[in-house]
Amino acid sequence: MTANDLIQVLLYLVVLLALVEPVGRYMAKVFAEAPNRITRFGAPAERALYRLAGIRADEEMGWKRYAVAMLVFNVLGVLAVYLLQRVQQWLPLNPQHFGAVSPDSAMNTAISFATNTDWQSYAGESTMSYLTDMLALTVQNFLSAATGMAVLVAVARGFARRSAQTLGNFWVDLTRATLYVLLPLSLLIGLLLVSQGVIQNFKPYVGVPVVQAGSYVVKANGARGREVTETVPLTAQTLPMGPAASQVAIKMLGTNGGGFFNANSAHPYENPTPFSNFIEMLAIFLIPGGLCITFGRMVGDERQGWAILATMLVIFVPLALACIGAEQAGNPALHGLAVDAHASALQAGGNMEGKETRFGVAASGLFATITTAASCGAVNAMHDSFTALGGLVPMWLMQLGEVVFGGVGSGLYGMLAFAVVAVFIAGLMVGRTPEYLGKKIEAREMKMASLAVLLPCALVVVCTAIAVTMPAGVGAVANPGAHGFSEILYAISSASNNNGSAFGGLNANVPFWNVLLGICMFLARFPLAIAMLALAGSLAAKQHMPVSAGTLPTHTPLFVALLASVVIVVGALSFLPALALGPIAEYLMAAH
């Protein structure tokens, strides 16, 4: 690893930590029950929206009602996105005259964007009209992120309230998350991205002559089935256009990750400069990091939020350094071949395959770990081209359950499920009834936390087993052997943890994969949220227990170490066998 790599990671962490506290405190005010300066400022807009939708903002909801509202709203979102894709050929803002998206791809995409996954089996610039991009996909980027924040806020209220039957109002939380947090931050990030050259227009695609004309050879079937080769002159290229910046801003802030273009944040119109890359990386962790502080303030002890944030960093930083280190070390298969893979003034060194030269190894490795630690899924380099160990890190970060920062809201409520498991284990060690944030943790809470922790793990291993035993599953793989298995495992880990990034090399735009991944995304998102709402509902009904000599402090380094260990042990026990068949086997084959 070079000094340049370390400086980039350090700079990123310093700026991130400087921003999470003000953003977290701001969000705590947004979701506060008592009116304050921020909510009073937006009150007229809020009231107008509630009147329009027929919502009674003062009405409180129990956990079941909250969960049903969340589910119904998002299923309607899936339907709307599906229908828009299927009829986009008859709608305006379609200068390229794209036809209807195929039913299986449309359903996969609709579930993907409504679940905050943004797995894309299609190529944006050759499939979606501008209207579909804006009205279906970008709107869902906002609403799915706001849904995650709403569920988190309800879970936080479950810890904070005493002897209560309700967790707040889903519609109010959803509206406030969108209106006060996501919209203003997206506008700011969008403007910053436009200043760097990210495009935002409604122009038809532009044909331009290439700087250096050339040709390429294609093979085709000629007369009597004979194969013929044909030389095609290359004199012009097509530059895709569109309202990219507005979608890119929220895809990062909302940890959605769905690229406007197929190459996602590796595309120069989506991420043109190292500064835009830094802004995009910052935007991914900003809200998930800030929500830790929001949570701490909502439960009345900011130290609790810092402890969770510290746990996330304790897991994230070593894994980020491991990924960058593996990429900077390069492919072990080349080590004995006198290939100079060292960084120097003339070359980035390491493994630059599939990476953009404007970003280099460090910014690509850091982006890959950020986007998979958070459930963003945007990519600025092709993860399929990472070294075996460099590719293992993003895959395992997803498999940890997307709780290391994780999705907007969903990452933190996932981590809270692990926190409940951690205090339970601590309670078992000393023979005391476990408690967390003043609430006694009993069998019913443990059942919900266990379901939330184990559901994504079960989805990954069961669906990977299904995929590798079905001809349609294996047939989509471009590479044989361990790397091909990694492509399958990565895709299912990505969908089953609502990440959405692709390893690549998997032809996933076929009915089998569209359906399998669609089911994974749906079942990973909503049942897990429901389990956490049930847990919150159960906790809200309890009395607060005073701190005693036997209370395990949950804001100390000891608890941070315990919580990080639980996350890592669950991730390791669940996935080491599968990882051994994929990236670990690939590394051993390359090294020896």
Partner 1 sequence: MRAGAMDIVYLLLLFVLSGVTLGFLLICDRLVARR
Q: Which is nearer to partner 1, 355 or 542 (CB)?
A: 542
Smallest distance from partner 1 to CB 520, Å: 11
Distance CA 139, CA 73 (A): 13
Smallest distance from partner 1 to CB 447, Å: 5
Q: Which is nearer to partner 1, 103 or 553 (CB)?
A: 103
Q: Which is nearer to partner 1, 389 or 536 (CB)?
A: 536
CB 380 within 8 A of CB 356: yes
Smallest distance from partner 1 to CB 400, Å: 23
Q: Which is nearer to partner 1, 111 or 393 (CB)?
A: 111
Contacts made by residues 205-214, CB under 8 angstroms, sequence distance 24+: 205/95, 205/96, 205/125, 205/238, 205/239, 205/240, 205/241, 206/238, 206/239, 206/241, 207/236, 207/237, 207/238, 207/239, 208/236, 208/237, 208/239, 209/235, 209/236, 210/234, 210/235, 210/236, 210/237
Binding positions for partner 1, 29-48, rule CB under 8 A? none
Q: Which is nearer to partner 1, 104 or 301 (CB)?
A: 104
Binding positions for partner 1, 418-477, rule CB under 8 A? 444-445, 447-448, 451
Binding positions for partner 1, 386-425, rule CB under 8 A? none
Residue 196: both structure tokens together: 């760097």
CB 491 within 8 A of CB 591: no
Give residue 460's Cα distance to chain centre.
Answer: 16
Binding positions for partner 1, 95-114, rule CB under 8 A? 100, 102-104, 106-107, 111
Smallest distance from partner 1 to CB 78, Å: 6
CB 480 within 8 A of CB 563: no
Crossing angle of helices 443-469 and 557-579, in 10° steps, is 30
State yes or no: residue 155 binds partner 1 (CB under 8 A): no
Q: Which is nearer to partner 1, 49 or 541 (CB)?
A: 541
Q: Which is nearer to partner 1, 296 or 401 (CB)?
A: 401
CB 518 within 8 A of CB 112: yes
Crossing angle of helices 274-298 and 244-253, in 10° steps, is 40
String marking each residue 512-541 x if it binds partner 1 according to CB under 8 A = ---x--xx--xx--xx--xx--xx-xx--x
Residue 181: both structure tokens together: 């947090």
Among 15, 75, 164, 510, binds partner 1 (CB under 8 A): 75
Distance CA 394, CA 387 (A): 11
CB 327 within 8 A of CB 386: yes
CB 7 within 8 A of CB 280: no
Among 30, 67, 287, 309, binds partner 1 (CB under 8 A): 67
Smallest distance from partner 1 to CB 365, Å: 36
Label residue 313 exposed, middle or buried (CB < 10 Å: 0-12, 13-18, 19+). buried
Smallest distance from partner 1 to CB 92, Å: 22
**What Rg, from alpha-carbon coordinates, does the chain have?**
24
Distance CA 27, CA 295 (A): 9
Q: Which is nearer to partner 1, 19 or 446 (CB)?
A: 446
Distance CA 182, CA 189 (A): 10
Q: Which is nearer to partner 1, 120 or 178 (CB)?
A: 120
CB 133 within 8 A of CB 243: yes
DSSP codes of every residue in 90-155: GSSS-TT---PPPHHHHHHHHHHHHTT----SS-GGGT--HHIIIIIIIHHHHHHHHHHHHHHHHH
Q: Which is nearer to partner 1, 16 or 530 (CB)?
A: 530
Q: Say how many CA atoms lie within 13 Å of 303 toward its Cβ.
A: 8
Q: Which is nearer to partner 1, 74 or 497 (CB)?
A: 74
Smallest distance from partner 1 to CB 527, Å: 5
Among 19, 32, 68, 194, binds partner 1 (CB under 8 A): 68
The neighbour count for residue 69, using CB atoms within 10 Å, is: 17
Q: Which is nearer to partner 1, 110 or 352 (CB)?
A: 110
Smallest distance from partner 1 to CB 57, Å: 24
Using the contact rule CB under 8 A, the part of the chain among 62-70, 206-214, 474-482, 497-505 near partner 1 is 62-70
Smallest distance from partner 1 to CB 559, Å: 25
State yes or no: residue 78 binds partner 1 (CB under 8 A): yes
Smallest distance from partner 1 to CB 375, Å: 19
Number of residues that bind partner 1 (CB under 8 A): 35
Q: Which is nearer to partner 1, 218 or 443 (CB)?
A: 443
Q: Which is nearer to partner 1, 26 or 512 (CB)?
A: 512
State yes or no: residue 82 binds partner 1 (CB under 8 A): yes
Q: Which helix (H) or strand (E) holds 214?
A: strand 206-221
Smallest distance from partner 1 to CB 423, Å: 18
Strand partners, 214: 234
Q: Which of 174, 167, 156 is nearest to 70 (CA)?
A: 174
Among 64, 162, 203, 335, binds partner 1 (CB under 8 A): 64
CB 438 within 8 A of CB 544: yes
String marking each residue 325-364 x if it binds partner 1 according to CB under 8 A = ----------------------------------------
Residue 253: both structure tokens together: 């802030």
Interacting residue ranges for partner 1, rule: CB under 8 A: 64, 67-68, 71, 75, 78-79, 82, 86, 100, 102-104, 106-107, 111, 444-445, 447-448, 451, 515, 518-519, 522-523, 526-527, 530-531, 534-535, 537-538, 541
